[in-house]
A and B are shown apart, each in its own frame.
Chain A
Amino acid sequence: MRRRFGLTPTVLLLIGAVYSLLPVVWVLVAATKSRAELFSSNAFQPGTGLWDNLVELTDHRDGIFWRWTLNTALYAGVGALLSTMVSAISGYTLAKFRFPGRNLIFNLLIGGILVPSVVLAIPQYLLLAKVGLADTYWSVLLPGILHPYSIYLARVYAGAAIPDSMIEAARIDGAGEFRLLNRIALPMMVPGLVTIFLFQFVAIWNNFLLPFIMLADDRKFPLTVGLYTWLATGANQPALYTLVITGALISIIPLIALFLTMQRYWRTDLTSGAVKG
């Protein structure tokens, strides 16, 4: 059967693509504008200030912006790694073991999705302050490790990717549980774990409220909180618009790069286990 070129579906897809890219294109253009151009020229007319904006961004408070970038990379990288590890072990255990309390534990962990982060942030802060961990890197890393959604995904992946027969065979061969986990279960879950890692990376990268409440020292801020402090200067202080826009552009570049390089590994099929099972 000959592949025809379908005009309607292609056009529809393109409309979707344009709609999705529009704001990103806008921020690209806006970052090239000087302060004067920002409010006076057409939205999609490039300006002349990109280099000046970058210089100003780097000079502002001795380059604190780049420090924020590094912080964010640290929070997102380390946090997503730890989170993926915990989710993988938990998901595998919940999928492949039968033990009393399994469903209760699973439901408890999943119930976490239902609690808005705004609700948790303040008590988490007060409790971390009690043990002297508030305003440390830990205060942002630790609360983000347990992620209900990731555990849910990990459980689905483990259920779908690891045949029970393989586990049985390994056990008969006398492999210990840890060895089984390390040598058989985790390697088989890798494609799914990459997805979980990416999800978590994006979630932590985009998190605002938790670090905002936890951190007092602006040298520990991630990008979102840093940009916010530039936008919400005191009422009688000018907002640093051009810096915020240039900063916003730079803050999404790494994520876009990550997406483009990792998109081959995305496995978002949440129900494959169910479909096959």
Chain B
Amino acid sequence: MPYLFLAPAMALFVAFFAVPIGYTLYLGTRGTKVSGLGLGKGSRREVSVGFDNYQATLTDHEFWAGWLRVLGYGVVVLTVMLGLAVLFALLLDSAHARLKRVSRIAIFLPYAVPGVVASLLWGFLYLPSLSPIHAVLHWFGLQANLFDPDVVMFSMANIAVWGGTGFNMLVLYTHLRSISPEYYEAARLDGASEFQIATRIKLPMLVPSLILTTVFSIIATSQVFTEPMTLRPISNTISSTWSPLMMVFTQAFKNLDLYSAAATSIVIAAISLVLSFGFLRVVRKRAFSEES
């Protein structure tokens, strides 16, 4: 009976995950062979190249540099986004803040904006001549080029933070709501301030939720793609291989080399797998304690 219930999911899994991944693995071992100029009929054949493509990816300096860039970007995004999410969740749950409903909806709203559209909006907002950001900086007596090599990462991180904070905030806030108020009453009677309650009682209780949101955020940032893709046309500093996933896109859609793209994607998936499984192990111990 359970197998019958799981049949639709498993069938879809085989058709849309397992087989495509298998096919990608296979494509990664293929390449082209050209006879003559490669312009006549039948002058290009698909042949097996063994593990050449995989080897090329693994030894590509640019590929690992991309991982490094994403690592730096990920640290920025994760700390800022989750920090803000925790802050806003605690504020929403605090006794003294007002306008909570409006703020909650407003901060959650960006989640509904498609990535393509979000990047377009920010692309406009980063315009020095039109941007309110520049106006604010100017007010503080600062000048910034948001596409400067040292700054562009933060410009991208900002888009990710803007899009992701609300969602994570809601996850954490819902968790806070499920905690019985009894926990705080005793502290209040002892004269603890709201701030102390938030930092000493609520924050430790949020840890399971935080671990989970962290894992999902790590997966999301390691696959960063939309933000650099959409900012690339307006900045000189984002290369076509800025992030590992962009490298796949460049190989497949710009250099028209499906085989290398397949190999690179398999390597990326493997790295993501290793990264996340470490975390998932930790998480499952906490989230599914009934299983261990």
Q: Which residues of A contact B (CB under 8 A)?
A: 1, 3-6, 9-10, 12-14, 16-24, 26-27, 30, 42-44, 86-87, 89-90, 92-94, 97, 99, 102-103, 105, 108-116, 118-120, 122-124, 126-127, 142-143, 145-146, 149, 151, 156, 159, 177, 181, 202, 205-206, 208, 223-224, 227-228, 231, 244-245, 248, 251-252, 255-256, 258-260, 263, 266-275, 277
Contacts and interface: CB of A to CB of B under 8 A. Distances in A.
Contact of A114 (B98, B118, B276, B290): B276
Given A5-B96, A119-B269, A12 B91 contact: yes
A269 B95 contact: no
B13 interface: yes
B63 to A, nearest CB: 15
A65 to B, nearest CB: 14
Nearest to A15: B103
A5 B84 CA distance: 22
Contacts of B225: 116, 118
B17 A146 contact: yes
A115 B21 contact: yes
B171 to A, nearest CB: 5
Contacts of A256: 109, 112
A271 B208 contact: yes
Chain B's interface: helix, strand, loop or mixed, by majority? helix
B114 A143 contact: no
B174 interface: yes
Nearest to B205: A275
Contacts of A159: 290
Contacts of A18: 106
A259 B2 CA distance: 34
B248 A206 contact: no
Given A16-B103, A275-B178, A115 B125 contact: no
B93 to A, nearest CB: 10
A93 B91 contact: no
A118 B243 CA distance: 13
Interface residues of B, number: 97
Given A123-B24, A248-B120, A20 B6 contact: no
B194 A93 contact: no
Interface of B: 1-3, 5-6, 8-10, 12-13, 15-17, 19-21, 23-24, 27, 84, 87-88, 91-92, 94-100, 102-103, 105-118, 120-122, 124-125, 127, 130-132, 162, 165-167, 170-171, 174-175, 177-178, 188, 194, 208-209, 212, 216, 219, 223, 225-226, 245, 248-249, 252, 258, 261-262, 265-266, 268-269, 272-273, 276, 280, 286-291
Q: Which 4 A-B pairs have the closest CB atoms?
A: A6-B96, A17-B106, A119-B265, A9-B97
Contacts of A111: 273
A10 B120 contact: no
Contact of B290 (A27, A43, A227, A277): A277
A81 B175 CA distance: 26
11 contacts: A12-B88, A17-B103, A20-B107, A20-B109, A90-B9, A92-B5, A112-B17, A116-B225, A231-B120, A266-B170, A269-B175
A110 B283 CA distance: 13
A109 B261 contact: no
A43 B131 contact: yes
A245 B120 CA distance: 9
